[in-house]
Amino acid sequence: MVGGLARLNTTVRFGDSEEEVCFLRLAKLEEAASFEGLLHATEREQAAAVPNPLQRSRFVVSRGLRRTMLSACTGVSADSLVFAHDGEGKPRVPGLTGWDFNLSHAGDYVAVVVGCGSVGVDIEKYREVRDMESIVGRYFHPEERDAWHALPLARRPAAFFLLWSAREAAMKCAGLGLAKGLSVTRVDPGILEQGTGTAWVGDRLLQLRSLPAPEGYELVICRQEHPALI
What are the DSSP calls for 95-159, one per residue? T-TTEEEEEEEETTEEEEEEEESEEEEEEEE----TTHHHHHHHHS-HHHHHHHHTS-GGGHHHH
Average pLDDT over residues 207-228: 87
What is the pLDDT, as a whole number, of residue 5? 32
| Domain residue spans of the chain | 8-229
Q: 141, 134, 124: which is closest to 202 by C-alpha?
A: 141
Average pLDDT over residues 166-172: 97
H or E element that contains 170: helix 156-173
Q: Express as a percent the part of the chain with pLDDT over 70.
A: 90
Provide the pLDDT confidence category of residue 225 given band limits of 50, 70 and 90: low
What is the pLDDT, as a whole number, of residue 89? 64
Provide the pLDDT confidence category of residue 20 given band limits of 50, 70 and 90: confident
Average pLDDT over residues 66-95: 85
Q: Say if residue 159's pLDDT is above 80.
A: yes
Helix (H, G, I), strand (E, B) or coil at 18: helix
What is the pLDDT, as a whole number, of residue 11? 83
What is the pLDDT, as a whole number, of residue 88? 62
What CA–CA distance (Å, rounded) separates 26 from 10? 9
What is the pLDDT, as a whole number, of residue 79? 86
In this predicted model, which residue has the larger pLDDT, 80 or 46? 46
**Number of residues written out for the chain:** 230
What is the pLDDT, as a whole number, of residue 172? 95
Q: Say if residue 229's pLDDT is above 80.
A: no
Q: What is the average pLDDT score of the chain?
A: 89
Cβ(223)–Cβ(207) below 8 Å: yes
Provide the pLDDT confidence category of residue 1 given band limits of 50, 70 and 90: very low
Q: Say if residue 17's pLDDT is above 90.
A: no
In this predicted model, which residue has the larger pLDDT, 92 or 104? 104
Q: pLDDT tens digits for 94-151?
A: 888 889 999 999 999 999 999 988 999 999 999 999 999 999 999 999 999 999 999 9
Q: Say if residue 164's pLDDT is above 60.
A: yes
CATH homologous superfamily, domain 8-229? 4'-phosphopantetheinyl transferase domain (3.90.470.20)
- DSSP state letters, 34-87: HHHTTS-HHHHHHHHT--SHHHHHHHHHHHHHHHHHHHHHH---GGG---EE-T
Q: What is the pTM of this model?
A: 0.90
